[in-house]
Amino acid sequence: MKKRLIYSFLLFGATFITGCTKNFDQINTDPTKVSAELFNPNFLMAQAQIQFSNTGYDQLLYQSMWSQSLASTYDYYGNGDKYVYRGSAQDYKSRTWNTSYGAATLVYEMKNLVKGNAAYSNLDNCGSILLVMMLQRVTDAYGDIPYSQALQAKSGITQPVFDTQQSIYTSMLSTLATATAALDASKPGPTSDLFYKGNITQWKKLGYSLMLKVAMRLTKVDPTTAQKYAEMAYSGGAMASIADDAKVQADNGNGNGNSNAAALLVTDDFREVRWSNSLISYMQSTNDPRISAVAEISAGTGKTANQTEAPGISTASLQIGMPNGYDLNGGATDISKAPNYPGVSPADPSVSGDAPAPDGKYSRPRFAVYGDRNGVNMLLTYGESELLFAEAASRGWNTGVAATHYANALTADMAELAQLNATPTAVVAASDIAAYVAAHPLVAATALEQINMEYFVETSTSFNFNETWANWRRSGYPVLTPVVYPSQFSTVIPRRMEYPVTLPATNGVNYAAAVGKITGGDQFSSRVWWDK
């Protein structure tokens, strides 16, 4: 009963959208003025965590394809795979905004309920860390967003100003420094915490790891600030093992199933969404033992087998990544015209009415791992932190030894895959991990490429595509070739998300002011402040 309450209480927050939601005042006004004495604010944390972590089509339609982690021939994936408008494009480009602000609303209300109450000081500071995590995703995608006036409809601010991304990053780093330092393990922690079950020591590590991630976004625009906070995160004590990973276990039985799995198990998605050639070919070039843990081809041939939810064949040598930018329309961009096309998976003569499967020989995300409706959503990992510390050290900053961080990251990134399911499924043998780490030491001359290519693999295989796309824009790795396809909305790989289409009508003045500051306007090809 308690679990059901934690996951489902106050679902009104899930519909909140800052500056662009119908019935804004009604949704965000509580006439009873609930207090912490009447309602336990802890319950809001768990709901915010599951809502924020459950991305699904928020990132599968655009970010996963723009970063060339995944590829697809199916029509509505053309939004991301080919940079062409397909069904529900306006909805999909708004989802990162809606999901993140919706979850942030719950956290903001939680913080309001505990404001000034010393008994809830840790919950309050954990809430500050969560807000940074949530709104960083929004600003990284869109650029300038409501921040200083966001989430304050109850105070009468229903049309918040858009803060500059530069000022948002300044505020986020300051907030993390204050909130993380203020966490006190001798005091009570959150009681409805899906990350760490209230362990404040781990929350402090998360705060510093998040500080590192925020700081490293600034390497191209403000390396001095990036260095200051990366070093602060290192001295403060970031994540120390995969046990510290920030993740949320989905709970399908209580109505909170994994939304990535739900999306991929749509028949068309299951049949036509594949690992990209950019990812699989790189992993094969390094003899990465994760290939068989994350990839498979159908165990049978033909269309029926390729759209039947069943485990496939994960033998590493059989895996083939699909190139981005192809379809099943029979013309010049048909998948059969792709370089090194492996051929069609023939119809199974034993299945009545079966048909060939043009994508059948390309590798899909393993069903048992990524089709798990109770699977884990990864948000920030120890491996990511170690890679970022490795990069910082490679830049000469005081964050330890780059080669050691890199080796730690390789080990962690492979081991953490087993955490994606309650019963470890994507398991890489410890001996294979050790052999891979020994064979791939960090080389100073190629350090930035090695580190960020591993970041590409780690965030792709953990299905954290928001982060894959953001780090590609920041680092330039992997080096990707834009897709060329008829009627594209961008001739370059998109570098920001266009604002939700509802904003001109609901927050027009502030929206127009924000767009006026964007070089190139509100376009997919424009760049956010830190992406120079």
What is the residue extent of each domain of the chain? 2-10+39-260+373-475, 266-370
Q: Determine the Cα–Cα distance for residues 252 and 376; give it in Å rounded to an integer.
A: 11
Do the Cβ atoms of 141 and 466 come closer than 8 Å?
yes
CA distance 195 to 330: 47
> Residue 33's pLDDT is what?
58
| Opening angle at CA 118, ends 113 and 122, nearest 5 | 80
What is the reported pLDDT for 37?
Answer: 64
DSSP structure class, residue 444? G
pLDDT value at residue 100: 98
Which amino acid would we find at residue 455? Answer: Y
The long-range contacts involving 107-110, CB below 8 angstroms and separated by at least 24 positions, are 107/44, 107/45, 107/48, 107/131, 107/134, 108/151, 108/152, 109/13, 109/41, 109/44, 110/41, 110/42, 110/44, 110/45, 110/48
Give, for 72, the enclosing helix (H) or strand (E): strand 70-72
Tens place of pLDDT for every residue, the chain, 532 residues?
333 333 333 333 333 333 343 443 444 445 445 565 667 999 999 999 999 999 999 999 999 999 999 999 999 999 999 999 998 899 999 999 999 999 999 999 999 999 999 999 999 999 999 999 999 999 999 999 999 999 999 899 999 999 999 999 999 999 999 999 999 999 999 999 999 999 999 999 999 999 999 999 999 999 999 999 999 999 999 999 999 999 999 999 999 999 999 999 999 999 999 999 999 999 999 999 999 999 999 999 999 999 999 999 999 999 999 999 999 999 999 999 999 999 999 999 999 999 999 999 999 999 999 999 999 999 999 999 999 999 999 999 999 999 999 999 999 999 999 999 999 999 999 999 999 999 999 999 999 999 999 999 999 999 999 999 999 999 999 999 999 999 999 999 999 999 999 999 999 999 999 999 999 999 999 999 999 9
Residue that is written with structure tokens 């995590």 in the block: 133
Three-state secondary structure string covering 73-95: CCHHHHHHHCCCCCCCHHHHHHH
**Rounded to whole angstroms, how far apart are CA atoms 394 and 108?**
38
Distance CA 249, CA 408 (A): 24
Phi, psi of 203 (to 5 degrees): -65, -35
Are 270 and 284 in contact by the 8 Å Cβ rule? The answer is no
Instruction: Report pLDDT for 87.
Output: 86
User: How many C-beta atoms surround the C-beta of residue 491 within 10 A?
Assistant: 11
Q: How far apart are CA 376 and CA 42, in angstroms?
A: 21
- DSSP 3-state assignment of 296? strand
Q: Which positions ≥6 away from 453 have C-beta within 8 Å?
A: 282, 477, 478
In terms of residues, how long is the chain? 532
Architecture of domain 2-10+39-260+373-475: Alpha Horseshoe (1.25)
Look at residue 502 and give its three-state secondary structure: coil
pLDDT value of residue 39: 76
Please tell me the predicted confidence (pLDDT) of residue 14.
Answer: 34
CA atoms within 13 A on the CB side of 350: 3
Parallel/antiparallel/unpaired status of strands 364-365 and 295-296: antiparallel
| Token digits of residue 355 | 């048909």
3-state class percentages of the chain: helix first, strand second, coil last, to nearest 5: 50, 5, 40
pLDDT for position 36: 56
Residues near 294 by beta carbon (within 8 Å), at least 6 away in sequence: 275, 365, 366, 369, 370, 417, 426, 461
d(CA 323, CA 306): 18
- Using CA atoms, how far residue 461 sits from 148, 180, 426, 440, in Å, is 34, 29, 10, 19
pTM: 0.93
SS3 473: helix
